[in-house]
Amino acid sequence: MDTKGRYQHLTYTDWTVRETQFEPDQFRYRETVFTIGNGYLGTRGSFEEGYSQASPATFIHGVYDEVPIVYTELANCPDWLPFTINIDGDRFRLEKGEILSYERKLDLRQGILSRSVRWRSPNNQIIDIHFERFANLADEQVLALRCQLTPVDFAGAIEIQASINGYPENQGFNHWELLDQGKTEAGVWLNLRTRSSRIQLGIATSIKISGAEASLQVTSPPGYPTLIASFLASPGQTVTVDKLVTVFTSKHVENPVATACEKLVQLPEYSFIIKTHSQAWEEVWQKSDIVIEGDVTAQLAVRYNLFQLLIAASRNNDQVSIPAKTLSGFGYRGHIFWDTEIFILPLFIYTQPEIARNLLTYRYHTLPGARRKAVHYGYKGAMYAWESADTGDEVTPRWLPPNDPYGEDIRIWCRDREIHISTDVVYAVWYYWQATNDDEWMRDYGAEIFLDTAVFWSSRVEYNTKHERYEIREVIGADEYHEFVHNNAFTNRLVQWHFEKALYIYDWLYKTFPDKAIELEDKLLLSIGRRSRWSDIITNIWIPYDESTGLIEQFEGFFQLQDINLEEYEPRTKSIQAILGIEEGNKRQVLKQPDALMLLYLMRQSQEPPYNPHTLQANWDYYAPRTDISYGSSLGPAIHAILASDLGKTAQAYERFMQAALVDLENVRGNAPEGIHGASAGGIWQAVVLGFGGIQMGDSEPIAHPHLPPGWTRLKFKLIWRGKWHEFDLGNGEWGQGDQGAGSRDRGNS
Amino acid sequence: MDTKGRYQHLTYTDWTVRETQFEPDQFRYRETVFTIGNGYLGTRGSFEEGYSQASPATFIHGVYDEVPIVYTELANCPDWLPFTINIDGDRFRLEKGEILSYERKLDLRQGILSRSVRWRSPNNQIIDIHFERFANLADEQVLALRCQLTPVDFAGAIEIQASINGYPENQGFNHWELLDQGKTEAGVWLNLRTRSSRIQLGIATSIKISGAEASLQVTSPPGYPTLIASFLASPGQTVTVDKLVTVFTSKHVENPVATACEKLVQLPEYSFIIKTHSQAWEEVWQKSDIVIEGDVTAQLAVRYNLFQLLIAASRNNDQVSIPAKTLSGFGYRGHIFWDTEIFILPLFIYTQPEIARNLLTYRYHTLPGARRKAVHYGYKGAMYAWESADTGDEVTPRWLPPNDPYGEDIRIWCRDREIHISTDVVYAVWYYWQATNDDEWMRDYGAEIFLDTAVFWSSRVEYNTKHERYEIREVIGADEYHEFVHNNAFTNRLVQWHFEKALYIYDWLYKTFPDKAIELEDKLLLSIGRRSRWSDIITNIWIPYDESTGLIEQFEGFFQLQDINLEEYEPRTKSIQAILGIEEGNKRQVLKQPDALMLLYLMRQSQEPPYNPHTLQANWDYYAPRTDISYGSSLGPAIHAILASDLGKTAQAYERFMQAALVDLENVRGNAPEGIHGASAGGIWQAVVLGFGGIQMGDSEPIAHPHLPPGWTRLKFKLIWRGKWHEFDLGNGEWGQGDQGAGSRDRGNS
């Protein structure tokens, strides 16, 4: 959707996203943009006072509940925002009265969302209203909201209502059953339970008023506990209302509502909470910030993407992972894809490895689901779900049901065929281990993931006696425009790589932790014979790759498909698949996202075959023009940016980079209302650090080969590698591509 | 579900269903039992104060909204019941405190649901609480609720809250978007809109208190407008609160919320409203009541079934019909089946034909949907939807999606194959016309339904050149245990009948209204050639029927299926399909419901072939023991009751009759929580009047051939036939089966 020029864009400074005008048309996507969170929950940027087009949501990690077709989804949790203001009978809402001034900003450095509105009520009274809110990073179950009211030209009674809305909805569906509600001396509380998964949630809230004498009252319609305060206000006199909220679930504590109420009583003042919260953010940015000078849009956009990942990753829970749309929207129902391991994880591996470990441990905990999936499909070992949720069972919908009573059901084949996920997971496990030397984790968790997925692959490959080779048939590769292909180069090579590393880990385990090796052999039924077969697969699996030209054939027969010239479809505002239809797309040489190039990108990290500059050039020239980079998958642009940068295509690299960096901030694809593009955000970190920064992990330390985009005068970031911090402070033009080790200063493990 | 003896049964007097003990286990099905309504809406018997297991619902005819898989459903409308009572901080709920006495009763004669509870609060205060409510039959958009409070042993402050709950749900899904809410001098109001179908709904409520000085207050959390009143009460002193509600939708008026508010202001007192309401009910019962003496359970159960149909049929709207579960539950999503035309309609045709006309005119308005369905399946004319909703398009779900991520999707084939529906509709059209002589309606509506469905059939039948006969292949007959059969006798004979009557009507139209005949010929592309083909189909369609034995073969090859002895599966608590599975059921001679017998029942009305006493006996002997009458379809027992009665099997007839009559009152099948069994209720009227009363429509008037169940000393009812009322007052043993005309006294058209 080309929305440029049609509305007032957001404005950017180093640390702040600013909206200077309220535009109803942009409201839904801005709700996504202004999402806040703290790794325990995420809350969309809906207005406290409500708005008719609003789609408010608070998602708490791991709180899934059943739903038809997609099996399970993150349940939208009770809304903690509702805060209404009544001035002389007029309820403040942006649909009414007149907006005299308006500013909303998200302070990325401190994780605080605020809004200032000067509003003239229908009764012609002018008031300044300032809201700010945050999800406490220092104490995750605490949420805080402040409202400051300053009459400009009148004196009179103001009534405010601070509520919990116990009727949250997932596109109409309310996952919650009301158990009970009540009041305590501190405030009001609500106790709910999800319908099917039976997760209890307790939420409590209190208000505190300063700057006026207020009379307080409680009203509790079912599911909507509300604190009411009335006070007299005078012109120029500011009244401050602090609304504090505590929220716990039975995934976390025994008695959530009692814990929420106890916690609420013990809370310090708003000003103290915000201080500890800001300090926590300072520590996070200490590790994960990236400084860019010379390009304020890029600077802000990079920080914005990091921010959205930093609030989406759980710090204290290794049973959950990051959904494709983080905790910011309803898209993909809170399901977890390869987006996490392949796109998002490097940020955490190299700046906050303890979070990376949590995310990978989620895959350990979901091995039972992966094993059930393997059994269901008639294979052995662990076959990860293409879409995963709480149990690791496959939750990709089988069907896209039509609304039209005579429409066709569209079968979605990813659950059955997009099987590279099992290796995507171990790819991340491998690099986590490489970067951290976390042998204990590898022993206790990683090895089992690695080996049991290898067991799966050894039951999944087929030996073709005619061609005397192993094959993997009937798959979907990285490129989802081709739904039924044989011998996808990306998949086959990754599986070969998987077996290579699995044998390495198997040997390492035997040497280092022989008891564990024997334990796993028993548990996974590993045997000498199986190891020999793995070696044989490594040797004989077929990769459709022409060494003379360097060209990879995406899958068997790809080059025989009808060719396409994507320029003939320009200008367009939708994907090639939407234009051609699924069947026609299957027949053409058009890609939704990098596939052979994605393989090269993944092999680039350790410079493994078939990656080399020659194959990169050959495959770029062939595949890049055939990739639907604008409206295909949002996973593509950041990867293209990195590879284009490697190939010296600076302008194209920067264009792709900004396309990814602004995908949510400027709603580049038109689907930002559904939530943050998490994989794209992760790709941004990789594009800056691994691409423009040119970081390669040597044997002993990371080394930069920077090639910064034009205009970037400085690029500064830190990485932690095997327990040691490395700071990089890179300039443009000062270092050539071959300048190894530039700017790295060891600081030791902090 | 055999629940007998496990709980306190309902008790019955002539006009009243009484529940004398509150039993949480029975709560959900009792919500269905205590449904009230007025033909505009239905409201389940949930408690005003709320209950943790509650499933409250109010359905308004025609208010459908989109939903995945089942396409559309009746949207649960805002709940008008909420009424909470706070006594000294204790909120009255049956989960708390102590129930000292309890009685709930549904007065069928007046359509009033009431409840009396003596409750001891946790704070040890005893109060008498009496609720009563009704949906005004004299003024359909008006609902009334009265609460009377009498402290027994304390004096103190009582606070009541009367609300509208704008968060109704269809099993979790909330179809409504909140547009606005507010208060007027009379009370509070709420304005909502369905998400997809964009139907607006305005609802307003007021309260009036007598017997105490009360302070009134309004609170309006979003979507939950609430009126609060506080007063002091003394022992033995009764305070009465009347809550009146008005509700309109944009299907009915231009501006629903304004209309609701205006109406609310104009409402008379509760006592006046209840008087006009009771008078309206008296008029309805004047026409449709059935008096049974000597069997109080049967008396009550018959009235109960009539009551549930009388409140489900729209008096003033010919764009809607009666859903399978009436307006009383979520089962079948408010979709409309053959249940209406074949099972429910006779009650209305013969006692309130103006309602029958409305119900049939719904099928006229949905012809465009039936035509779209025909086009979709590659046929001509009008092919009615197996499940129909607002547009007449097919809304039977294609799939029953599994909850288990590895479960199989179950394909539901009724939309594709259960095509007898198109003739079921015209069967009712024919008998409506026979009973009323309503030639204008037949000219303007009925003929087009009749002829365009005939056009469909002539494109659907296939000529088998080998056997030189017309066939109808790949269908589901009345019996749904066999999902893919050829030449179902029920379907084939009904289609033959359809063409016979269609030609008759065609001739009649030409003779009586030649202009209309020509208009329809043009519109439906009728031609001489087509008429000749219809005659040929009548002559040559194959009915699998052996005239020598009288035995009908349910479909081609049925007698070759594996036989079954149902007694071997006793005792059981679920259907044979649930025991055997769908595939195994398909392979056996076991029926979900009457099929050949259903055909005989339908042909019995005019004594047309293959109906005669001999075929009835032969087919009863063969099929009745092979029919899953206990847990198969609830459509079966009433039909079996009638046929058994014809065959002199008095005990079996009565057993089947009571099985149908108590299906909801005693939750005989365990699925009453999902809503009233509308078809079974309609079957009850037919069993009493057409079965036990033995009514046959002669050429000039209905004639009784009564054979009453043992114990029934009197059976009394009225019928209207071609504009004249006929009263029947039948006794047992006084008239033999051949006593024609017994008890009929013409009263003239009233």
Tell me the mean pLDDT in the region B666-689: 97
CA A175, A179, A182, A184 torsion-angle sign = negative
Q: Which residue(s) pair with A485 in the sheet?
A: A475
Mean pLDDT of B99-117: 98
**B403 CA to chain A: closest CA distance, Å?**
6
CA of A180 vs chain B CAs: smallest distance (Å) = 9
> Chain B within 8 Å of A236 (Cβ-Cβ)?
no
pLDDT digits (tens, 9 = 90+) for B315-357: 999 999 999 999 999 999 999 999 999 999 999 999 999 999 9
- Reported as a single tens digit per residue, the pLDDT across B123-160 is 999 999 999 999 999 999 999 999 999 999 999 999 99
Residue A7 pLDDT level (bands cut at 50, 70, 90): low
Percent of chain A with pLDDT over 70: 97
Is residue A742 scored above 50 in pLDDT? no
Q: What is the pLDDT of residue A737?
A: 35
Q: Domain spanning A34-267: which CATH class is it, in words?
A: mainly beta
The pLDDT assigned to A696 comes to 92
Mutation target among A72, A170, A173, A193 for the B interface, most CBs of B within 10 A: A173
Chain B residues within 8 A of A228 when measuring between CB atoms: 219
- β-pairing, A83-87 with A90-91? antiparallel
Per-residue pLDDT at A9: 86
Residue to substitute from B224, B371, B414, interface A, most A β-carbons within 10 A: B224
Confidence of residue B1 (pLDDT cuts 50, 70, 90): very low
Q: Which residues of B touch A163 (CB under 8 A)?
A: 221
Task: Determine the pLDDT at residue B88.
Answer: 86
Burial classification of residue A581, based on how many CB atoms lie within 10 Å of its CB (0-12 exposed, 13-18 middle, 19 or more buried): exposed
Q: Which two tokens stand for residue B461?
A: 């039948």
For the sheet with B41-43, list strands across it.
B36-37, B41-43, B58-60
A162-174 confidence digits (pLDDT tens): 999 999 999 999 9
pLDDT of residue B734: 47
Nearest residue on chain B to A228, alpha-carbon basis: B219
| Of residues B283, B165, B143, the one with CA closest to residue B226 | B165
Question: Residues of B numbered 293-312 whose beta carbons fall under 8 angstroms of chain A's beta carbons: which are they?
Answer: none
- Angstrom distance (rounded) from CA B666 to CA B3: 8
User: What interface predicted TM-score (ipTM) does this complex get?
Assistant: 0.86
Whether the per-residue pLDDT at B5 is higher than 70: the answer is no
Class of domain B353-550: mainly alpha
Say if residues B711 and B294 touch (Cβ distance below 8 Å): yes
CATH class in words for B34-285: mainly beta
Measured between beta carbons, the chain B residues lying within 8 angstroms of A376 are 406
The whole-number pLDDT of residue A735 equals 41
Q: Tell me which chain A residue has its CA closest to the CA of residue B53.
A: A177
Q: Is the pLDDT of residue A749 over 80?
A: no
Q: Which residue of B has its CA nearest to A396?
A: B405
- Put simply, whether B733 touches A (Cβ < 8 Å) is no
Q: Nearest 5 degrees, angle CA A170-CA A176-CA A182? A: 130
Instruction: Give chain B positions within 8 Å (CB) of A161.
Output: 221
* Chain B contact probe: residue of A55, A69, A181, A390 with most B CBs at under 10 A: A69
Flag whether residue B29 sits within 8 Å of chain A, measured between CB atoms: no
Q: What is the mean pLDDT of residues A379-395?
A: 98
Query: For A256-295, how does the pLDDT look when each residue is reduced to its tens digit (9 = 90+)?
Result: 999 999 999 999 999 999 999 999 999 999 999 999 999 9
Matching CATH topology for B34-285 and B353-550? no
Residue B226 forms contact with A (CB below 8 Å): yes
> B165 at the A interface (CB within 8 A)?
yes
CA A535 – CA A541 distance, rounded (Å): 10
pLDDT tier at A338, thresholds 50, 70, 90 = very high
Partner-chain residue, chosen from A50, A172, A394, that has the shortest CB–CB distance to B173? A172
Nearest chain A residue (CA) to B52: A179
pLDDT at residue A747, as a whole number = 36
pLDDT band at residue A88 under the 50/70/90 scheme: confident
> Nearest CA to CA, how far is A224 from chain B (Å)?
7
Is residue A82 less than 8 Å (CB to CB) from chain B? Answer: yes
- Tell me the one-letter amino acid at B434: Q
- Identify the active-site residue in B341, B387, B448, B480: B480
* Domain ranges for chain A: 34-267
Contacts of B398 in chain A (CB under 8 A): 401, 409
| Helix, strand and coil in chain B, % to nearest 5 | 35, 25, 40
Question: Which of B403, B414, B415 is best to mutate for the A interface (most A CBs within 10 A)?
Answer: B403
Which residues partner with A219 through β-bridges? A226
Q: Which of B68, B175, B228 sits opposite A401 (nearest CB)?
A: B68
Interface contact A372, partner B, CB < 8 A: yes
User: What is residue B699's predicted lDDT score, i.e. its pLDDT?
Assistant: 75
Radius of gyration (C-alpha) of chain A in whole angstroms: 27
- Check A174 against B169: CB less than 8 A apart: yes
Q: Which residues of B touch A195 (CB under 8 A)?
A: 172
DSSP-derived secondary structure for A281-338: HHHHHHHH-EEEES-HHHHHHHHHHHHHHHTTS-SS-TT----TTTTS-SGGGG-B-H
Instruction: Examine the pLDDT at A605 and tell me if it is beyond 80.
Output: yes
Closest C-alpha among B477, B423, B431, B473 to residue B452: B423
Candidates B398, B409, B411, partner chain A, best to mutate (most A CBs within 10 A): B398
Enumerate the β-bridge partners of residue A293.
Answer: A714
pLDDT, tens digit, 9 for 90 and up, residues B548-574: 999 999 999 999 999 999 999 999 999
Sort out which chain B residues have CB atoms less than 8 A from A82's CB and list them.
Answer: 221-222
- Report yes or no: A28 at the B interface, CB cutoff 8 Å: no
How high is the pLDDT of residue B733? 61
A with B: how many residue pairs have Cβ under 8 Å apart? 100
Instruction: Give residue B697's pLDDT band: very low, low, confident or very high (50, 70, 90).
Output: confident
Closest to A406 (Cβ–Cβ): which among B66, B165, B376?
A: B376
Using CA atoms, how far residue B616 sits from A518, B496, B611, B613, B693, in Å, is: 75, 20, 7, 5, 19
Answer whether B222 touches A (CB < 8 Å). Answer: yes
Nearest alpha-carbon partner for A118 in A133, A107, A131, A105 = A131
Nearest CA in chain B to A403: B71
Smallest CA–CA separation between B52 and chain A, in Å?
Answer: 7
Contact B50 A222 (CB under 8 A): yes
A222, A223, A403 member nearest B66 (Cβ): A403
Consecutive H or E run containing B583:
helix B582-586
- Which tens digit of pLDDT belongs to each residue from A524-543? 998 888 889 999 999 999 99
Task: Using CB atoms, pick whichever of A163, A398, A405 lies closest to residue B393.
Answer: A405
Out of A52, A226, A394, the one facing B221 most closely (by C-beta) is: A226
Q: Are B276 and B136 in contact (CB under 8 A)?
A: yes
**Contact between B172 and A167 using a beta-carbon 8 Å cutoff:** no
pTM of the model: 0.92
Residues of A with Cβ-Cβ distance to B372 under 8 angstroms? 406
- A457-486 average pLDDT score: 97
B405 and A395 within 8 Å at the Cβ level: the answer is yes
Average pLDDT over residues B79-93: 94
Q: What's the mean per-residue pLDDT of chain B? A: 94
- Distance between B71 CA and the closest CA of chain A, angstroms: 6
Q: Confidence band (pLDDT; 50, 70, 90) for B7?
A: low
Q: Is A139 on the interface with B (CB under 8 A)?
A: no
Determine which helix (DSSP H) or strand (DSSP E) holds B510, and give its type and residue range.
Answer: helix B489-512
Higher pLDDT, residue B404 or B306: B306
Q: Smallest CA–CA separation between B190 and chain A, in Å?
A: 14
Selected residues 610-629 of chain B with any CB under 8 Å from a CB in chain A: none
Residues of A marked as catalytic: 480
Q: pLDDT at residue A733 above 90?
A: no
pLDDT score of A543:
97
- Asked if residue B739 has pLDDT above 60, the reply is no
Is there a contact between A69 and B69 if contact means CB atoms under 8 Å apart?
A: yes
Assign B402 a pLDDT band (cuts: 50, 70, 90).
confident
Q: Do A409 and B398 touch (CB under 8 A)?
A: yes
Chain A residue nearest residue B395, CA to CA: A405
CB B140 within 8 A of CB B38: yes
Tokens for A159?
Answer: 């009534």
For residues A316 and B14, give the distance between their C-alpha atoms in angstroms, rounded to a whole number.
Answer: 66
A55 contact B CB<8A = no
Judge whether residue A745 has pLDDT over 60: no
